[in-house]
Amino acid sequence: GAVVSQHPSWVICKSGTSVKIECRSLDFQATTMFWYRQFPKQSLMLMATSNEGSKATYEQGVEKDKFLINHASLTLSTLTVTSAHPEDSSFYICSARLPQGGGGNIQYFGAGTRLSVL
């Protein structure tokens, strides 16, 4: 299957600082990537859909100014958590879909990033 690389795997930061998480599709071009958030022992909640070359589409209740998404190339999307606070501590997972018509709508997932805000 296709490979999605997510970095870093774990980050600890002080309250008020910003943290950037990178998501790369290693062996395919992803015009669309997705960012999820997962609380302990809970399911994945879609935060936003990242589209290459255009603005991200955010789910209801997700602050776009808080969670900045940049999809500048066909293989890279970044999520920046701005002015992080302890309540932003969570597990963030990115996902990428094969180009339209390929792979039957399968989404491949990164290994996730654990964010701990002190």
Partner 1 sequence: AQTVTQSQPEMSVQEAETVTLSCTYDTSESDYYLFWYKQPPSRQMILVIRQEAYKQQNATENRFSVNFQKAAKSFSLKISDSQLGDAAMYFCAVKNNNDMRFGAGTRLTVKP
> Interface with partner 1 includes 73 (CB under 8 A)?
no
Q: Is position 49 an interface residue for partner 1 (rule: CB under 8 A)?
A: yes
Window contacting partner 1 (CB under 8 A); options: 20-28, 67-75, 79-87, 99-107: 99-107
Taking CB under 8 A as the criterion, the residue among 69, 112, 115, 117 binding partner 1 is 112
Q: Is 62 in the site for partner 1 (CB under 8 A)?
A: no
Residue 39 one-letter amino acid: F
Per-residue string for binding with partner 1, 29-48, x by CB under 8 A? ---x-x---x---xxx-x--
- The answer to whether residue 107 forms part of the interface with partner 1 (CB under 8 A) is yes
Cis previous bond, 86, omega within 30: no
